[in-house]
Structure 1
Amino acid sequence: MTFSSRHTHALPLYTSVGLDAWWPLLYLVGDPRAVRSPAGWTVAPSSPEAVSRFEAGWTGVDRSADHHAWARRPNGVALVAALDGRPLAAGTAAGEGDGFGLVHLATAPRLSDAQAGDSVLAVLAALDNADGNARVCLPAPHPAVRPLLAAGWRATDLDLFMATRIDLLDARRCVPSPALA
């Protein structure tokens, strides 16, 4: 799997080795102050170690090196989102200026699609960027996309999720870093 750019040679190259294009990954930009945290959700700073443990427990994937690297970026912060006090999403925000935003977020497998969308909205609403806007990459079918667009966020670019099977990433649940592909 990979996230293919719209470069004219990318799609033919990836399809020639057996990958199919499944859905667009939207690069969304907007004002976090325009997003309201859904009822019951809280977001708190954490540590890369804690975020990595949550993600490994939920997904079986150890991204501790990634979370440490992301947290070392300018304005990097590991975050845990809880619903009614139960940690159900964990990730890292980082960057500066127009590049600040949610880099990656993992969610507990027991979340419904709506709760997965709410977790993203809660984290984005909690971001504090002195320059105003924040970024997030979301699959087009993700349940947070519609509320973000309704809040004035806009898609500034897109990549294509390319994979041998569509089920390698859950488009209604994942908040991937395009660099992970």
Structure 2
Amino acid sequence: MEIRAVDSGHLSGIRAITHATGQSDEDSGADPAYVEVIRAQGHAKVAVSGGTVLGWAGALPTPLGTLLTDLFVDPAVHARGVGAALLRALPPLEFTFSSKHPSALPLYARAGMVPSWPLLYLSGPVSRLPRGVLRVDRVDATTAASTEAALSPVGGADPNAVSGAVVGRGAGAGMGSGVAADLGAGAGLGPGRDGGGRAAVYRHWMRAGRAFVVRDGERVTAVGAGRPGVPGVLAHLTCSDPRSAAGALYAAVAALDSDHVALCLPGPHPALRTLLAAGFRVDDFDLSMQAPTIELPPTWSYAPGLA
């Protein structure tokens, strides 16, 4: 068995493992664009033997630390050390979202990550959620990444300095002119944190959707991305202030202009009880695993593979 960097010749094998392990086709190894984001902005590895892909894994820098995006092994070769070999080929990891597979949690714990809260896969109707008065403005990927850096716990810059590249007013507004942002991409990120590469992640989320900031008056409270549809999907929302987290979430969901929305929320998120009372259901869950050196905000909406 050899561990190699992912290239285009491995994509069909990665796709086959994705399907064999019961994952969807979106934001998974079945999506070449998703794999390319991880390969280009982080690390993507495959385990191969005789030209056959046995498993694959990815790691991606994020504003919170290095994320283990994926670790999937062909079920036919489970318990043969493939997953452990892939982990050893990646840089030091700081968090991941573990599936409920019995081998996953022990493997990640041995890598130095401990379990925390569940990441709940939720879906439900939007009509019964509070509307509030927060404003949602569309932005470009670079502005979204800069704002996220400032709103993250390791940030430190002022997110309200990000006044540039706003795309109109309101979630449905058209392209408008912007003022040069005072906060550049990646400003305020600590050592080892992702800077400009985060804009590539936002561009991935924006392929069929939009990036946006949520404002309380003129104060930026959150930044995220999502796509309309049936259902709509809130791919990600950064909001580290517990006082603003619920209102920002309701505003972001409403701005998707979809009757039914899917999203992933930490179990302790301030909006969870309201979502459940409004008819949302828990479709599945993963388990947050994190190194002792970091603390994942329970006020974000996470994309399991890109955070």
Using the size of structure 2 for normalisation, the TM-score is 0.52
Matches within 5 A, 1:21-60: 21-38=115-132, 40-59=133-152, 60=189
C-alpha change, 1:148 and 1:56, in structure 2 (3 Å) is same
Instruction: Tell me, yes or no, if the aligned pair for 2:290 and 2:296 is still in contact at 8 Å.
Output: no
Tell me, in whole angstroms, the C-alpha distance in 1 between the residues paired with 2:230 and 2:101: 26
Tell me, in whole angstroms, the C-alpha distance in 2 between the residues paired with 1:15 and 1:88: 34
| Backbone CA RMSD of aligned residues | 1.9
Runs of 5+ unmatched residues, structure 2: 1-94, 153-188
Structure 1 partner of 2:230: 97
Question: Comparing both structures, which one devotes a greater share of its residues to helix?
Answer: 1
Using the size of structure 1 for normalisation, the TM-score is 0.85
Matches within 5 A, 1:61-140: 61-62=194-195, 63-72=198-207, 74=208, 76-94=209-227, 96-98=229-231, 100-107=232-239, 109=240, 111=241, 113-129=242-258, 132-140=259-267
Structure 2 partner of 1:158: 285
Cα deviation code 1:88-142 (max 9, x no counterpart)? 21110027434x31111112x5x3x13112111111122212xx31111110001
C-alpha change, 1:25 and 1:166, in structure 2 (3 Å) is farther
Which has the greater radius of gyration? 2
Tell me, in whole angstroms, the C-alpha distance in 1 between the residues paired with 2:245 and 2:294: 17
Identify the match of residue 111 of structure 2 among 6, 12, 17. Answer: 17
Tell me, in whole angstroms, the C-alpha distance in 2 between the residues paired with 1:68 and 1:51: 10
Partner amino acid, structure 2, of 1:175: S
The answer to whether the aligner puts 1:143 opposite 2:283 as a matched pair is no
The count of aligned residue pairs is: 171
Tell me, in whole angstroms, the C-alpha distance in 2 between the residues paired with 1:47 and 1:35: 27
Runs of 5+ unmatched residues, structure 1: none
Tell me, in whole angstroms, the C-alpha distance in 2 between the residues paired with 1:177 and 1:80: 17
Tell me, in whole angstroms, the C-alpha distance in 2 between the residues paired with 1:24 and 1:119: 21
Tell me the secondary structure at the aligned position of residue 201 of structure 2.
Answer: helix
Tell me the secondary structure at the aligned position of residue 6 of structure 1.
Answer: coil
Query: Displacement of 1:175 after TM fit?
Result: 1.8
Tell me, in whole angstroms, the C-alpha distance in 2 between the residues paired with 1:69 and 1:53: 16
Identity of aligned residues (%): 36
